[in-house]
Each structure stands twice: as C-alpha cells, then as structure tokens.
Chain A
Amino acid sequence: MAECDGELNLSPFAISRASALLALGVVLAAVTAGFGPVLAMALYQSPARADPYLFQVVRFTLLQASLSAALSVAFAIPFARGLARRRFAGKDVLVNLLGLPLSLPAIVVVLGIVQIYGRQGWFGGVIEVYGLTGILLAHVFFNLPLAARILLGQLAAIPSESFRLGAQLGFRDRDVWTRIEWPQLARALPGVAILIFLLCTASFTVVLTLGGGPRATTLEVAIYQALRFDFDPPRAASLALIQLAICGSLVLLSYGFSPGAVGMPSLGRFASRYDGTSIAARMADGFAIAMALLLLLPPLLGITLPGLANLSIGSDLLPAAGTSLAIGLASALLAVLIVWPLAQLAARSHWWRRLTPLAMLLGLMVPPAVLATGWFIVLARFSTVSVPAAVLVVGMNALMALPFSYTALAPAVAVAAQRYDRLCSSLGLAGYRRMIVVDLAVLRQPLGLAFLMAAIVSLGDLTAIMLFGSQDFATLPSLIYRQMGTYRMASASGTALILTLFTFVLISLANRWSVADDKA
C-alpha cells in the first residue's frame, strides 16, 4: 500500500515531466536543425555588413508590427467583451467567422482588401490602401479576429459564480470590469499581443504588395532575399539573429508583465451575466461589435463575392481539398500532442510557465525560409531515405501553429489543474487514467479550440507548401497560387471562395461537436 501511495504521488508528475521534456526536445531539435546549419555556414564566412537600409528595415518592421498588434488588441477587447455579454441571433455564426482570416493566404486577403478599398474598389478612394494604412488594415483583418477569439475564450472561462457574487454584492458594470473581466483578460493579453507582433514581423506578401515600394520592407523580406537571390546564408543568418534578438527580448519583456495568476474554482457551467443591462452598456457593446464587423466583413465579401462568378469544380480541386484537410488534421494533431504535456507541466511549475511560451514562439521567430534551408541541409547530409514532402510540410505547419494552440489551451489547463489536482490526488486518479477521466472531459472545449486553431493555421499555409511542396502535391492555397501564376486569376478567386467555405464548414462542425458534447 505504501508503495502504491508513493507511486500515486510521483507518477502524475513523472509522466507529465517526461512527455513535456520530450515535446520540448522535439521543438528545440526542429528549430536547431533549421537554424544550426545556416548559422554554421555563417561562421565559416564573413558576417553581413550593417547598412543604413537595414536600420530602416528594422525600424519599419518594429513600427508596423507594434501598430498592428496595438490596433488589433484595442479593437478586440471591447469586441470580445460585447460578444461575451450579449446574446443575439447569428452570434454563433459570427464567432465561427472569426476563425476564417487565419486560414486565408495573404495574397487572397490582399486582393479582398483591394476589391473593397482599392482604386477600383467598391469603396475606392475612401482610404489610400497602398502604404502603411493598407498594411495595418490587412494585419488588423488577420489579427483582430484572432485576438477576439482568444479573449472571448478567456471571458468564457470566468466561472458563473463570479458574476453571481458580483451581482449579489451590487457590482456596477465598472466593478465587474475591474474586478472580474479585466484580471482575466490581462492574463492573456501579453501573449496575444506578442503573438500578433511576431506574426506581423514575419509578414511578407502584405507588406510588399500593399507597402507601395521597398521603403516598406520587413526583415523577413531581407532574409528571404539573402537566402534566395543572393544565396548568402551568412547574411541570412545574421539578419535572422537580429530578428531573433529583437523578438526574443520582446517576448521575455512581455512575459515579465504577465501576472500569470490562476483562475478561481467554479462548477464549470456557462456563465449567466447580470451586468451590462443599461442602455449605455448596450450601445457600447453594439458599437464595439459593429466596428469590428465593419473591419472584418467588407474584405471577406471582397474575397468571396468575386469567386461566386468563377466557381468551377475542376479535377484538381478535390485532391487539393483532400490534401489540405489531411495536412491540416495531421499538423493540428502534432501541434496538440506537443502543446498538451507542456501546458500540463506549465500549469504546475513556475519555471515551465516562463520557459514554455518562449519555446512555443521559437518557430515564429526563426524565418521559415531559414528553417527550410537548414532542414534541407541536415536531411541531405544525414538522412539515407528521402523524407516525403508531406512530412516536412506537416512538421513546419505544426511548428508555426504551436503558439496558437498553446495560447488557446494553457490558461484552461492551468485552471483545471488548480481546480482538480487535489480532488484527483485524493481519489487516487493519476497519469493516463486521470487524463481520460478528468482532463479530457473538462478540457474538451479548449482542447478542441487548440486543435482547430492549429488546423486553421495549417489550412492557410502557403509558406511551407511552397518551400517543400512538389508538383504532384497541392493544397488549396498552393492551387490558388498556381492558378494565379498561370494567368488564371478568375479561377483563383473561385478557389479562394471554396477555401473560405471549406474552412467555415470545418469550424462550424468543430464547434457543433464541442457544444453537443457539452449538453450530453
């Protein structure tokens, strides 16, 4: 019996620590295998020169990325709060729509924005779309929904007891905000902001196409140039190091501000809200939701409506949709398998809570072109069998999806750990049994969200598929790109519509599944 007790106390930690170490090892190995060889080539040759243009590039990168992150978050906070407080017809559809932008390749979004605000657009001349404004508009279109979705998840995780208690204590809306909502949001904000910042730092097509000229360039473009046209790995490596240093220190800084508190226990029922009944509150919520819709819906229509006239189900469409789905599911599974043990350990260990988010973001900080080159060198040198392109695409997609999945899952895991750890250990539930009986049941929704977000990121990927893909292996985004590359702009708009519908159906099915499961 004593033996048994010892095992009970030890095993949950031992198992989760071993699998978390394994997951972390996989991530670090993937990033090192990518960056290492390029760095090594840099060491053999002379380093890059620092020129004035480089400073301009760094300055512009930082400027547009911080503005994009700030704007996205600023719009997302009232939007998410409005969504959390209000019940209205079509709300579910709206929440599902939030997943769409991430699944769209950048050029598709750029063309959608141009369709609306461009010189010949439906609202042409309202704003000048070529320049910083256009870049910010596109980045907010991508990232406001992302931020809103994560923040909404945070607000939904507030136990209903908190609101009931607030109501009993006579909280006004402002008190609810400062005592209940804001503390919960504040936990996720640094993570969301830094995620958006990094995504915009790595922005390429949006910045070049809408930027107007080489004045608007990100480091990512400079790295791409160094690796491709100049085939100058040393310069690419030093530029990537600059990017890594800037992004890395910002990540560390932002997590320094993160309170990292853990939520309160609750029965886990969906919260009934007693606040926000005044006319002013209704109007504020309505305004916030309307503003967000005004930013999101026009470009979405600009993407989908032109496609309506060009819908054709070619012989290439079904295989591409199948490949997209398979790669999306495989990448999402891989991402969740990595994120799960790390989130579990981070919920219980101070050190891991600091370390893990940094590791999750590594794949976003090292440019994909550098990763691809490094992987290629390593495989060419050490692998005797040729690794199928699909494996590399899935690997890179999973790596890029990690921060999304982690942000969706980690806070909920932390809450569940605090809520159920004592109960589980008193019941003697541990290890895989606990995972199946408790964790999978209470964490089904955030787990589903983590999976869905990774799948969405992978569905919209054009980077990895372009770096590793081969001609007999096309996803929907690469099909769009190939159609555009052979003058078939109209067919490409039809395929973009199908990609949008396809993602929307997937998101709706996933959400229906998770809701249905809640009722059961």
Chain B
Amino acid sequence: MKKILTALFALFALAVPATARETLTIYTYDSFVSDWGPGAKIKEAFEKTCDCTIKWVAPGDGVAVLNRLKLEGKNTKADVVLGLDTNLTAEAASTGLFGKHGVDLSLARTPVAWTDEIFMPFDFAHFAVVYDSQAIKQPPTSLDELVNGDPTQKIVLEDPRSSTPGLGFLLWMKSVYGDKAGEAWKKLRPRILTTAPGWSDAYALFTKGEAPMVLSYTTSPAYHMIAEKTDRYKAASFSEGHYLQIEVAGLIDASPNRALAQKFLQFMMGPGFQDQIPTNNWMLPAGATSAPLPPAFDTLVKPTKTLLFTPEDVAQNRRAWIDEWLNAMAN
C-alpha cells in the first residue's frame, strides 16, 4: 500500500512540471470566440508572447458572463473577464472580485476620456439606426425625427430586458429626452414593427426586408461593405448624438495567475489584439492597431456628440427606466 502511494506520489510529482505551463482562463461572450470571432487569432498571438495557454470560457453573452461570475463568487476559475460593457461595470465592480488593472489609462483610445482603474476598454461602437437605402431615400437625421416620423416606415428594436443593444437604445432615449422619455416612447410606438429578444433576431428581420430600419451599430455597414461588397445598408447620423457602447475587460484580484492576467490586459491594448477587432468583432479598436483600418471604416458615421451615462447611473436607475419603458409600451 505504502509503495503504491509512493509510486502515485512520484507520478504526481513527475506530472507537475508537464502542466507547469501557466493557463490563463478568460471568461468572455460567445460570439467573441465563435468561428468568426477574433478569439482564436488573439489566443495564438498572445501565446507567442508567453509560455502559457489561453483557455476561453464563454457562458453566453456579456450579461451571462457577469451572472456566472456572481454565481461562482470567490470560487471563480476566471483570471480575466472580457466583454462586459460600461452598463455592467458598476455591478461587476461591486462583486469585489476585480482588482486594479494597472494599465496606463492613456492607452485607451475611446471617444470619452478613460478613468476607470478596474476595467480597461478594448473596443467600442456607437449605437445607430441602420437603414436600407433601397427602401428609404431620406433617413431620419435625428432621434426626434425618428420618434415623430412616418409611422408606416417601421423600425425593429431589441427588448431592453434581454438584449444589450435594446438597453443601449433605452439609455439613448433617456439621455435625449430625460423625464419626457416615457412620452417619447409612446410617440415612437406606432413606428415599432416589433421588439425582438436579441440583436440577431432583429437584424434577421431587417435583412429580410420586414422593416427598413433596425437598431444596430455605426459599424454594421462596414460588415456589408467588406464581407458582402454592398453599400445598401447605411447608418443614419443623428444630430442629438449617439449613445456609446464600450466593451471592457478586468482581472480577478485573487487569481493565482494575476501577473499573467495583467500582462494580457497590457497586450490587449496593442496590435496583437486590436488588429483582430475591426473585421472580426465589427467594433472599433480602443487601442493601437498595426495599420490603419480598412477604407470601408472611413465611410462610417462618426458621431459628433457621444452620449453615455456613468456605470453608477445605469446600475441605480436601470430597473426604474425599464419600468418606465414598460409603462409607455405595454398599456
């Protein structure tokens, strides 16, 4: 018996050096690591810089990632969490699991100055109403025109209760109309063809031609131009400004691989990571790329004004604002 134990112990001891290659576990959203996402190439690029392995864990979308973290608490296996947006960071920070990233804040090339010491941005895009230029010759030029426009020209929206862009549009309405947001929703209501549970459901209805407008991103037309070689789908530029989505990453403070996690966040701001963002994640890079973006990106709408609530504002008011939307839409 003793011999067996000794043998087992020896075997175990032998096995340890083989697994000593550090593994960095990164929680992220599903489409980041899908076959068409940037995940695989980023993994390859980072693993060249370290004697380590990246393990992606994708429990769903950004909200699902945060919920997984809440359920696991201190027992989480994550070293890095990548893909929350600024609407979730206040809640994420309040779990107490995240530590300071220690990355130079000035590396962040975001439309708003970056001050968060816990989360570092890796990409961003403004929300926009994307329209079919074959169906609409004169798109709305402001949110107000959208709200008060011809109710036979429909838009497909996403549900703010189940979708990130849906919540983004709710915040957009709130930041433009403030206390009058409920009334604005009531005016917009006849123009809404339907409120889909997620972005992909809404976008599928839009590309089927069911409605000439959909809520998406300023970067959406770049996909159609680059992958489908068509400029049929365009984003409408709104004079009140566009609401911004910034996607961020943070590191788990108690992680045994904290140093490696920090190295990854540093890497995230450079070309090895950022080069993959524009044409794989279809967002704008928040760090340095090795070359200018493809020409299609120059043609995109560049909002003159950026709208963004603080993470704390969103965390405190989200439920009340969703209830306000429900009241306007469901009665």
User: Which residue of the partner chain, among B68, B72, B200, contacts A485 with CB atoms under 8 Å?
Assistant: B200
Q: Mark A184-221, 1 if CB is under 8 A from B, else 0.
A: 00000000000000000000110011111111010001
A114 to B192: give the CA distance in the assembly, Å.
16
For the side of the interface on A, what is the size category?
35 or more
CB contacts (< 8 Å) of A229 on chain B: these are: 63, 161-162, 167, 318
Min Cβ gap A120→B in Å is 4
Q: Mark A309-348, 1 if CB is under 8 A from B, else 0.
A: 0000011100000000000000000000000000000000
A481 to B31: give the CA distance in the assembly, Å.
10
User: Which residue of the partner chain, among A210, A377, A486, contacts B31 with CB atoms under 8 Å?
Assistant: A486
A130 in the interface (beta carbon within 8 A):
yes
Q: Mark A277-294, 1 if CB is under 8 A from B, else 0.
A: 000000000000000000
Q: Are B162 and A208 in contact (CB under 8 A)?
A: yes
A466 to B35: give the CA distance in the assembly, Å.
16
> Which stretch from A152-160, A360-368, A487-495, A497-505 is at the chain B interface?
A487-495
CB contacts (< 8 Å) of A215 on chain B: these are: 329-330
Given A228-B64, A377-B71, is A213 in contact with B199 using a C-beta cutoff of 8 Å? no
Q: Are A484 and B194 in contact (CB under 8 A)?
A: no
Given A466-B60, A482-B30, is A316 in contact with B35 using a C-beta cutoff of 8 Å? yes
Min Cβ gap B155→A in Å is 12
User: Which residue of the partner chain, among A115, A130, A224, contacts B193 with CB atoms under 8 Å?
Assistant: A130
B49 in the interface (beta carbon within 8 A):
no
A32 in the interface (beta carbon within 8 A):
no
Q: Are A208 and B196 in contact (CB under 8 A)?
A: yes
A368 to B199: give the CA distance in the assembly, Å.
21
A107 in the interface (beta carbon within 8 A):
yes
CB contacts (< 8 Å) of A48 on chain B: these are: none
> Which residue of the partner chain B has the closest CB to A315?
B35
Q: Are B56 and A481 in contact (CB under 8 A)?
A: no
A111 in the interface (beta carbon within 8 A):
yes
Contact residues of B between 191 and 247, Cβ < 8 Å to A: 192-201, 203-205, 207-211, 220, 223-224, 227
Main secondary structure of the interface of B (DSSP, over half): helix
CB contacts (< 8 Å) of A210 on chain B: these are: 194
Q: Are A214 and B159 in contact (CB under 8 A)?
A: yes
Residue among B30, B57, B199, B319 having the largest count of chain A Cβ atoms under 10 Å: B30
Q: Are B161 and A225 in contact (CB under 8 A)?
A: yes
Residue among B72, B75, B208, B227 having the largest count of chain A Cβ atoms under 10 Å: B208
User: Which residue of the partner chain, among B34, B59, B209, contacts A486 with CB atoms under 8 Å?
Assistant: B34
A296 to B203: give the CA distance in the assembly, Å.
25
A467 in the interface (beta carbon within 8 A):
yes
A120 to B205: give the CA distance in the assembly, Å.
10
Q: Which chain A residues have a beta carbon within 8 Å of chain B's beta carbons?
A: 53, 56, 107, 110-111, 114-115, 118-120, 130, 204-205, 208-215, 217, 221, 224-225, 227-231, 314-316, 373, 376-377, 380, 466-467, 470-471, 481-489, 492
